[in-house]
């Protein structure tokens, strides 16, 4: 069965926005974020509510930039890292937009855009759709590991969950198009170490990238970048090892959002950034603007997710990875 779906409908990014916290604001991309809240609270009483509010603010920002309102949006696909995507439901409920919740761990951004473009491709009555992805450092640490206040020591292979959100409005105008998408496969990451998610996700990323080029017949030198979600340093090194003889020049065109969001020389984030807000905010603040300006013309973008829970880790289960992919292209006719 073919895994790549070429979109017959012309689906473009009408607008996009990035919102983050203090660490994201002082990072290399901080000046490109639309809104930074140094407190990380976004006016809320808890970290969990703060994540929902961050998503709401991010989507509202995309509305403002596009000239659209919530009444123009036919469907929204969104998700976060909290149980049952509660941050998303609390944050976006007031819009009253038909909603599909997505939990793909750190792959949620690409998965949401893939699902949304698929819906729009098959249903011409959907004129505009939105996708939102969030993660919050303090909320995620409390759910998956230990609260920040505990002060637990982290492994060098561990990553720093971003307090970040990315929102995207898709429609029939804009300079960047989603040309095709490819779902990822569930791949055994061959580790049960929850402090080494990058290693677990690298195998899924390699499977997706190899499968894409095998099926499409395209060549790696046709792309400006191949971008992974948040493998971090450990996962990226493993990915290079796997693909060095499989994808020509891979190391020169690969970029990892987990290595872009923070300055590792100034901030100790160990192996890099993680959390589904990482790839969402880096796409919205960095790569989409470059595409929109025509500085780059074509990229493969795949968010990488570690499919695990606190219970599965305590039970010694292996961490599986997933890496859905979308192809994005600059369109010169606008």
More confident residue, 203 or 232: 203
More confident residue, 111 or 145: 111
pLDDT, one tens digit per residue, over 35-49 is 999 999 999 999 999
What's the mean pLDDT in 62-74? Answer: 98
Containing 21, the helix (H) or strand (E) segment is: strand 12-21
All structural domains of the chain: 5-171 (3.40.47.40), 176-330 (3.40.47.40)
More confident residue, 211 or 158: 211
Q: Across all residues in the chain, what is the average pLDDT?
A: 90
Q: How confident is the model at residue 150, as a pLDDT?
A: 44
- pTM for the model: 0.93
More confident residue, 154 or 17: 17
pLDDT, one tens digit per residue, over 171-195 is 999 999 999 999 999 999 887 776 6
The neighbouring-strand residues paired with 228 are 256, 302
- How many whole angstroms separate alpha carbon 331 and alpha carbon 57? 29
Token duo for residue 325:
């992919």
Q: How many CB atoms lie within 10 A of CB 149?
A: 9
- How many whole angstroms separate alpha carbon 79 and alpha carbon 89? 8
What's the mean pLDDT in 86-108? Answer: 94
User: Would the pLDDT of 110 be above 80?
Assistant: yes
Q: How much of the chain is in helix, strand and coil states, percent to nearest 5?
A: 40, 25, 35
- How many whole angstroms separate alpha carbon 124 and alpha carbon 79? 24
* C-beta separation of 59 from 92 below 8 A: yes
């Amino acid at each position: 069965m073919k895994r790549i779906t070429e979109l017959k409908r012309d689906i473009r990014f009408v607008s996009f926005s990035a919102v983050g916290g203090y660490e994201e604001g002082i990072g290399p991309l901080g000046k490109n974020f639309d809104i930074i809240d140094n407190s990380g609270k976004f006016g809320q009483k808890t970290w969990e509510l703060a994540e929902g509010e961050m998503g709401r603010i991010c989507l509202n920002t995309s509305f403002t930039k596009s000239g659209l309102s919530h009444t123009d949006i036919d469907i929204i696909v969104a998700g976060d890292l909290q149980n049952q995507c509660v941050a998303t439901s609390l944050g976006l409920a007031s819009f009253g937009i038909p909603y599909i919740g997505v939990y793909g761990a750190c792959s949620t951004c690409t998965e949401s855009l893939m699902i949304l473009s698929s819906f729009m491709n098959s249903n011409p009555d959907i004129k505009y759709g939105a996708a939102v992805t969030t993660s919050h450092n303090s909320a995620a640490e409390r759910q998956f590991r230990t609260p920040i206040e505990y002060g637990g020591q982290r492994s060098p292979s561990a990553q720093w969950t971003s307090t970040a959100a990315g929102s995207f409005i898709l429609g029939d105008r804009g300079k960047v198009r989603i040309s095709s998408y490819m779902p990822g496969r569930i791949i055994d990451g061959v580790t049960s170490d929850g402090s080494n998610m990058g290693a677990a996700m690298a195998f899924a990323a390699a499977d997706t990238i190899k499968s894409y080029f095998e099926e499409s017949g395209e060549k790696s030198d046709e792309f400006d970048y191949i971008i992974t979600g948040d493998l971090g340093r450990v996962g990226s090194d493993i990915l290079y090892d796997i693909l060095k003889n499989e994808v020509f020049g891979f190391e020169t065109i690969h970029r990892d959002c987990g290595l872009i969001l923070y300055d590792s020389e100034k901030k100790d984030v160990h192996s890099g950034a993680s959390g589904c807000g990482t790839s969402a905010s880096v796409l919205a603040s960095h790569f989409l603007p470059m595409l929109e300006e025509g500085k780059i013309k074509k990229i493969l973008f795949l968010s990488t997710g570690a499919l695990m829970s606190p219970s599965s880790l305590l039970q010694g289960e292996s961490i599986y990875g997933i890496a859905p992919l979308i192809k994005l292209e600059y369109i010169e006719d606008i």
